[in-house]
Amino acid sequence: MNSRLTLVLAGVLLTGAVVAGVQGIRLSQQQQLVEPPSASPSPIPVEAGSPPDALMSLKEREPRSPVVVLARALAPFEKITADHLAVEQLRIAPPASFSSVDEVVGRHVWQELPAGAVLTQSVFRAGGPLASLIGDKERAVAIAVDEVSGGGGFIQPGDYVDVLLYLRQTERQGDKTAQVVIPALRVLGYGEELSVGANGEPVRYQTEREDGRASGRRRPVQTAVLAVPAPLITRFMLASEVGTLRLAVRSAEEKRLADYFANGLRESEWQNIEHQLFRFEQLALKRTPSRAGTRRVSAIPVYRGADVSRQSP
């Protein structure tokens, strides 16, 4: 009896194992059919050659401009030869530079230049920055100003001003007068600011303390440099001596600075100004009238014996 029961249980367990195995095979086959095949990563194409070679080829494809530089130091007034020069290929050519050696061979500069310096038009110009701001018919004249006579300290280089003259009442000048000495003069410098640079901003000369730190306090303006037409320079100086000068700023809407850079100083302008000017020569040379009074007469000596005395008639 016991042996039969054992055989039955063994058969049931064997049947269950077979059924479980068959079910497992079916489930595994179904999962394989549902899951898509995994895509293998595509290979990344690699350019032939090492990385430095690729960078060099990219650098060679960039646009370059030839620029003339000094291969060795150049002394003032030394004649430039081909041995002094070299041509460098730069990404951006500096303003007013030269692209050919033939443009500068045979010329000379006015200051010493080190090797490697880029040659530009400015190194061949004589004179300082102030002299380069005026034409051959103009003169740069400095006058003393303060915050009152100098537009409150807000004048900038490039502005145009009228120069006013105030004459006090004196013995030779009966009444107080105010005159326009010269209208529409260009301001070249004001205080520590000089003209206008290539970037359009005034060139400022900073003053520093002895310890090297920049001073945060603004120093009062004491001078203004004006561009005066050469034929009017003497009258301008006479006006500065006989009275008090004051600057009156003109409107920027007149666009006089743009007209000056486009056309320069027109001769008709200063001739028209000359006809309207006050005659300062006559004013300066006019002498004080002599006071009315009796003419001085020498005393007459009177002799009384050994005594001598002098009496006026």
Tell me the per-residue pLDDT of 96-129, one tens digit each, with 9 for 90 and over: 889 898 999 999 888 888 998 999 887 887 777 7
Residue 164 lies in a domain: yes
Question: Are 114 and 146 in the same domain?
Answer: no
Distance, CA of 237 to chain centre = 30
Answer whether residue 307 shows pLDDT above 90.
no
Residues 145 and 195 in one domain: yes
On whether both 118 and 160 belong to a single domain, the answer is no
Nearest to 197 by CA among 298, 275, 122, 264: 122
Q: What is the pLDDT of residue 211?
A: 43
| pLDDT at site 87 | 92
Do 109 and 139 belong to one domain?
Answer: no
SS3 182: strand
CATH number at residue 100: 3.90.1210.10
Domain-ending residue, one of 70, 92, 124: 124
Is residue 107 within 8 A of residue 85, CB to CB? The reply is no
pLDDT at 54: 58
pLDDT, residue 293, reads 47
Does residue 305 have a pLDDT over 70? no
pLDDT computed for residue 57 by the predictor: 61
Assess whether 187 and 256 both reside in one domain.
yes
- Whether 28 is in a domain gets the answer no
How many domains does the chain contain in total?
Answer: 2
Indicate whether 37 belongs to any domain: no
Mean pLDDT computed over every residue of the chain: 75
Give the separation between CA 65 and CA 90, rounded to whole angstroms. 5
Residue 296: inside a domain, yes or no? Answer: no
Q: Are residues 176 and 228 in the same domain?
A: yes
| Domain identity same for 87 and 232 | no
Owning domain of residue 106: 59-124
Residue 1 banded pLDDT, cuts 50, 70, 90: low
Average pLDDT over residues 34-45: 53
pLDDT exceeds cutoff 70 at 302: no
For 209, left (φ over 0), alpha (ψ -120 to 50), or beta?
A: beta
Q: How many CB atoms lie within 10 A of CB 282?
A: 9
Q: Within a domain: residue 259?
A: yes
Q: Are residues 223 and 98 in the same domain?
A: no
Q: Please give the pLDDT value at position 291.
A: 46
- pLDDT at residue 238 tops 50: yes
| pLDDT tens digits along 252-295 | 999 888 888 888 777 777 666 666 555 554 554 454 444 444 45
Tell me, yes or no, whether 35 lies in a domain. no
Residue 226 binned pLDDT confidence (cut-offs 50, 70, 90): very high
Same domain, yes or no: 85 and 146 = no
Specify if 175 maps to a domain. yes
Residue 19 lies in a domain: no
> Looking at residue 207, what is its pLDDT?
45
Residues 143 and 187 in one domain: yes
Note whether 222 and 255 are same-domain residues: yes
Residue 35, pLDDT above cutoff 60: no
pTM of model > 0.85: no
**CA–CA separation, 152 vs 162, rounded Å?**
15
Same domain, 66 and 143: no
